[in-house]
Amino acid sequence: MEGTTRGSLPHGVRTELSRARIQPGLSDDADSWMQMLNDRRDECVATFARDRMAIEILFRERRDGEDSFYSVIPGREGRTERRLA
């Protein structure tokens, strides 16, 4: 449905889902990085205003022996920011 937004996002906000594969042998580094983000949550949230963001979602998945990070980043009027670990 063009011109409409479903769910709780305001009209005009679009989201982008990106996937980045974690290279073999770097799973422990990825764990450390995710822990650092959790430990420094307040600092991460403090960057949102500067980056003009209200939310950023980052999650990790293991499927078929492969680890990946997914990033969901909203942007206004179809513009999105692309930042992956």
Dump pLDDT digits (tens) for 68-85.
888 877 755 444 444 444
pLDDT above 70 coverage of the chain, percent: 69
- Please state, in angstroms and rounded to a whole number, the distance separating the CA atoms of residues 18 and 75: 13
Q: Quick one: pLDDT at residue 10? A: 67
Q: Quick one: pLDDT at residue 6? A: 55
Is 90 exceeded by the pLDDT of residue 40? Answer: yes
Is 90 exceeded by the pLDDT of residue 47? Answer: no
Using alpha carbons, list the distances in angstroms from residue 52 to 2, 3, 9, 56, 79.
Answer: 25, 22, 15, 11, 12
